[in-house]
C-alpha cells in the first residue's frame, strides 16, 4: 500500500472531529458585530443574491418540493434536457434560499441528527444528508451521514468523476476549483469534516454545521478555520446532470460497494 493510499484511507475513515476544534472566532452571517473589523468580513446577501433569513413554514416548503417534483417528472418525459437544466436551477434556489436559511444557527453536535431545524443538534454529515433528503433526494440520511467523506461523495457522483485535491494552499485550491467547475453547489469532504461549497463569481463559500462555531453557518471558505484540510474531495450537485436525473425520477441513491 503506497503512502498516498494509506493517507486517503486514514483521512476518510473519520467524520466531524470535536477534538480538532480550534479556538478561533469567525465572522459569519449569524454573528455580525458593529465592530468595523468584523463587519467587513460579513457576507452581503444582496450581492450574493441569496437569502439568509428563514421564510415561511419549513414543513410546507418540504411538502411543496415533493409536489414540484411531479412537474419535473412530467417535463422530463417530453424534454429531458430542459427538465434537468430547470431542476438544477430549482434545487440551487431551494437549498440556498428556502431550506438552509431555516438551519442557520442550529447547534452543531458531534452526535446530532435532528430532522428539524433549530431543534436539537446536527453533526456535519447529518446536516448534508438531511438537507439533501428534504430537497427530495431518495437516500438514507443515516447511512450517508455515517459514511466516510469519500463514500458520501461517491453516493452523489461516480468515483471517476470526483475531483480530489491535496496539499494545496487556499489560493492554489481556489484556482484549481475554478479551473474545473462553474458556479454552483458542491459537496466537499475534508480530512475530518464535510459540507457544501458554494462557488459563485470565482469565490468559494463554505456552508456547513461548524464544529468551530458550534452551529450551522455560511462563510467565506478562505476565512473558515474548519475549511483547513490536507485533502479535499469535491462532488458536483447542481451541475451534476446524472444526479438531477436521479432526483427527477426519484431514483434511490446508495453508496457504491466497490
Q: In whole angstroms, give the CA distance from residue 45 to residue 55.
A: 14
What cell numbers appear for 57 in the block? 413554514
**Contacts for 210 with CB less than 8 Å, ≥ 6 apart:** 26, 108, 124, 216, 217, 224, 226
Q: In whole angstroms, give the CA distance from residue 172 to residue 93.
A: 29
- Rg of the chain's alpha carbons, rounded to an integer? 18
**Contacts for 123 with CB less than 8 Å, ≥ 6 apart:** 15, 16, 108, 109, 110, 111, 112, 113, 145, 209
Beta carbons of 135 and 163 less than 8 angstroms apart:
no
State the pLDDT at residue 42.
77
State the pLDDT at residue 137.
98
Give the DSSP H/E element, type plus range, for residue 218. strand 215-220
Q: In whole angstroms, give the CA distance from residue 41 to residue 62.
A: 32
Beta carbons of 213 and 22 less than 8 angstroms apart:
no
State the pLDDT at residue 119.
97
Q: What is the SS3 assignment for 128?
A: helix
pLDDT in tens, the chain (258 residues): 444 444 444 444 445 654 344 333 333 444 433 333 333 347 989 989 999 999 999 999 999 999 999 999 999 999 999 999 999 999 999 999 999 999 999 999 999 999 999 999 999 999 999 999 999 999 999 999 999 999 999 999 999 999 999 999 999 999 999 999 999 999 999 999 999 999 999 999 999 999 999 999 999 999 999 999 999 999 999 999 999 999 999 999 999 986
> What region does 197 belong to: left with phi over 0, alpha with psi -120 to 50, or beta?
beta
Q: Which of 104, 119, 107, 115 is nearest to 140 (CA)?
A: 115
**Torsion angles phi and psi, residue 113, rounded to 5:** -145, 35
Give the DSSP H/E element, type plus range, for residue 203. strand 203-210
Q: In whole angstroms, give the CA distance from residue 127 to residue 216.
A: 8
Q: In whole angstroms, give the CA distance from residue 205 to residue 222.
A: 8
Burial group, residue 163, by CB count within 10 angstroms (0-12, 13-18, 19+): middle
**Contacts for 96 with CB less than 8 Å, ≥ 6 apart:** 50, 51, 185, 198
Amino acid at each position: 500500500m503506497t503512502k498516498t493510499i494509506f493517507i486517503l484511507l486514514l483521512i476518510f475513515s473519520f467524520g466531524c472531529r470535536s477534538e480538532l476544534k480550534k479556538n478561533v472566532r469567525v465572522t459569519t452571517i449569524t454573528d455580525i458585530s458593529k465592530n468595523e473589523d468584523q463587519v467587513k468580513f460579513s457576507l452581503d446577501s444582496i450581492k450574493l443574491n441569496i437569502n439568509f433569513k428563514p421564510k415561511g413554514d419549513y414543513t410546507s416548503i418540504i411538502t411543496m418540493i415533493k409536489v414540484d417534483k411531479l412537474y419535473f417528472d412530467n417535463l422530463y418525459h417530453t424534454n429531458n434536457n430542459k427538465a434537468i437544466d430547470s431542476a438544477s436551477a430549482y434545487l440551487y434556489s431551494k437549498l440556498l434560499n428556502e431550506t438552509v436559511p431555516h438551519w442557520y444557527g442550529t447547534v452543531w453536535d458531534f452526535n446530532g441528527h435532528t430532522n428539524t431545524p433549530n431543534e436539537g443538534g446536527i453533526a456535519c454529515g447529518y446536516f448534508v444528508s438531511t438537507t439533501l433528503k428534504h430537497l427530495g433526494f431518495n437516500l438514507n440520511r443515516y447511512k450517508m451521514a455515517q459514511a466516510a467523506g469519500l463514500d458520501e461523495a461517491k453516493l452523489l457522483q461516480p468515483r471517476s468523476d470526483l475531483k480530489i485535491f491535496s496539499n494545496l494552499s487556499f489560493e492554489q485550491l481556489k484556482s484549481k476549483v475554478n479551473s474545473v467547475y462553474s458556479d454552483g453547489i458542491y459537496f466537499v469532504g475534508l480530512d475530518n469534516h464535510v459540507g457544501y461549497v458554494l462557488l459563485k463569481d470565482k469565490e468559494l463559500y463554505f456552508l456547513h454545521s461548524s464544529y468551530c462555531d458550534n452551529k450551522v453557518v455560511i462563510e467565506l471558505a478562505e476565512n473558515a478555520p474548519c475549511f483547513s484540510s490536507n485533502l479535499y474531495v469535491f462532488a458536483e450537485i447542481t451541475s451534476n446532470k446524472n444526479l438531477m436525473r436521479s432526483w427527477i425520477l426519484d431514483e434511490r441513491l446508495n453508496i457504491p460497494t466497490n
